[in-house]
């Protein structure tokens, strides 16, 4: 082999080794940054951002601090069916259940309603199509457990109604915290009273 051929062979060998090392390289230092591997969008290494967003709680709501009051009134329509109206200091949108019971027979009618702006509520008409017969009736307004109330109401009353207080407050029979129950007796028609209880006489409009 001539000197020229030996020089050409060495040059080819060196170039081959250099190209081979370049093709087989790629250690940890050669990897692109994590954000480039994900299409140029940096990803958080932890859930810190998610947790921070969750910690941004909604503005605190003032708890309900007043003693609960519920006023009940009723009027008899021309068809002798009963309309129940009332007022309360419970928060707006509080869900209520109104129950009308005839004392003589125990027959009941009920309807759901909610506290309106200003504290008023209304439900009805109650009674059969033929109208309510004369006699005594008891109207009861119940506030179901806080767990079934709208979120805004629940925030003020407490998850278990723990912010409620006053003589109308009682424990739920189902162990769901504190609830409200208020009742009033009414006398429909001109039937004489047989009790000394406070009874409002309702006549046809």
Q: How far is CA 76 from CA 48, 98, 140, in A?
A: 62, 16, 17
Mean pLDDT, rounded, of the chain: 78
**Distance between CA 201 and CA 135 in Å, rounded?**
10
Q: What is the pLDDT of residues 12-48, one digit of tens each?
A: 555 555 555 555 555 555 555 554 444 454 454 555 5
Q: Write the pLDDT tens digit of every residue in 73-117.
A: 999 999 999 999 999 999 999 999 999 999 999 999 999 999 999
Percentage, residues of the chain above pLDDT 90: 57
- The sign one gets for the Cα dihedral 123, 125, 128, 132 is positive
pLDDT attached to residue 203:
60
pLDDT digit string, tens, across residues 164-182: 999 999 998 878 899 999 9
Does the pLDDT value for residue 64 go beyond 60?
Answer: yes
């Amino acid at each position: 082999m001539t000197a020229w051929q030996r020089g050409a062979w060495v040059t080819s060998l060196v170039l081959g080794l250099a190209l081979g090392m370049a093709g087989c390289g790629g250690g940890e230092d050669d990897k692109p940054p994590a954000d480039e591997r994900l299409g140029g969008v940096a990803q958080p290494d932890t859930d810190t951002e998610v947790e921070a967003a969750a910690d941004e709680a909604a503005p605190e709501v003032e708890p309900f601090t007043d003693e609960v009051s519920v006023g009940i009134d009723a009027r008899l329509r021309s068809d002798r069916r009963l309309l129940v109206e009332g007022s309360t200091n419970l928060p707006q949108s509080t869900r209520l259940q109104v129950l009308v019971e005839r004392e003589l027979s125990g027959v009941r009618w009920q309807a759901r309603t909610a506290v309106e702006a200003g504290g008023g509520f209304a439900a009805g008409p109650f009674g059969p199509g033929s109208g309510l017969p004369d006699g005594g009736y008891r109207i009861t307004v119940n506030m179901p457990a806080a767990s079934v109330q709208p979120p805004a109401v629940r925030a003020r009353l407490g998850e278990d109604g723990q912010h409620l207080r006053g003589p109308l407050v009682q424990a739920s029979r189902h162990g769901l915290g504190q609830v409200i129950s208020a009742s009033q007796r009414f006398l429909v028609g001109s039937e004489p009273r047989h009790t000394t209880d406070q009874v409002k006489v309702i006549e046809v409009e």
